[in-house]
Amino acid sequence: MIDRADHFAAKLAYETDASDLYARQKAADGVMVIDVRSDEAWAQGRIAGAAHMHYSEIATRAPVEIPVGTEVVVYCWSPGCNAGAKGALEFAKLGYTVRELIGGFEYWVREGYPIEDADGVHRRPVDPLTGVARIRTRA
């Protein structure tokens, strides 16, 4: 039987959330964010700074495009989509340190983090059910 502490430590080793990923992006710590959705989904919008690699292409593209040893975070649409898990599995089989973004693109957007599309980088308002809208004041 698995110990509870081991269970939650494993979850944190294999998953990350939007706020932790955003903090890592701001710190520029070298994590690579990969959108594993379709071309059409990518065109609709993506996490700012993410690269696109459909999960079915990872086995052939990743070894050529991403140095082994690079930490990778993959995401798909939402908690109702398993493409992120499919992508994470492909990266893991190749020996990458990989995490799946829980909540996917949906929660990234709902929490107000930067998204990118053909019009550039922007943010949508924070959904009060998923994040805290911080009031900005002038100093």
Whole-prediction pTM value? Answer: 0.90
Residues 6+ apart with CB under 8 A from 136: none
pLDDT tens for the 139 residues of the chain, in order: 679 999 999 999 999 999 999 999 999 989 999 999 999 999 999 999 999 999 999 999 999 999 999 999 999 999 899 999 999 999 999 999 999 999 999 999 999 999 999 999 999 999 988 877 665 544 4
Q: With beta carbons less than 8 A apart as the criterion, state whether 103 and 79 touch.
A: yes
The DSSP secondary-structure symbol of 127 reads P
Report whether CATH 3.40.250.10 matches the domain 16-122: yes
